[in-house]
Amino acid sequence: MAGPTGYGNSLGAALTDLLRAQVTPRHQLSSYNAKHWHAQLSQLTRTHRGYQALETAGLDVTAKTLLNWLSDPEYNVRRSYRALIHTAYENVAIVPADPIPDHIKQGQYEISGVVKTGDDERTRGTVDAAPLRIDGSRGNWEVIEELWLAGELTDDKFEDHFIDDIIVEDIGEGTDGWEFPGASYSVEVR
């Protein structure tokens, strides 16, 4: 039975496509796009989560002060308070990434596309050649997961770390390292 599959114009893009189909990445809520402190404060004070973010950011003012600020967008609010409002707004606007699930970290990978090690370059996952099979459970997912949770896992970083931390951990360095110089990849995890 086929498992989840990712597709892309590089190995990293296919891995990213696979992961994004399984879990939610760190992202910014599109409804949080206010620039002015007053608009940000108005939006924050509409939800319990917004009030919590203000408190976590360190904004400690009375309810009367808060009402004065909300009733007058031209109110002279100190720069330090505007910075706290902005920090709270940014913290609410960012939705954290879901952790990478175990079925991804423990999965058996089948990589189709051009695979190169040393002078050996061939297209894998065709009628004539089996896909490159990798046991994800033998790899070290720590750096990949840290980058994912921080919202910093680019396609290139994913590919580099997947090669170094997953492929090499499972089947070794190859003749002269692993390269994926093709323009189309699919990655299936079982």
Read off the pLDDT of residues 18-63 as tens digits, 9 standing for 90 and up. 999 999 998 888 888 899 999 999 999 998 989 999 999 999 888 8
H or E segment to which residue 5 belongs:
strand 5-8
Angle, CA of 27, 43 and 66, to the nearest 5°: 135
| Res 2 pLDDT > 80 | no
Domain parsing of the chain, residue ranges? 5-25+98-189, 27-95
pLDDT of amino acid 28: 82
CA distance 19 to 132: 19
**Structural tokens at position 109:** 């990978």
Q: What is the DSSP letter of 162?
A: I
**N-terminal to C-terminal alpha carbon distance within the chain:** 8
| Res 1 pLDDT > 70 | no
Read off the pLDDT of residues 85-142 as tens digits, 9 standing for 90 and up. 999 998 888 888 999 999 999 999 999 999 999 999 999 999 999 999 999 999 999 9
CA distance 29 to 94: 6
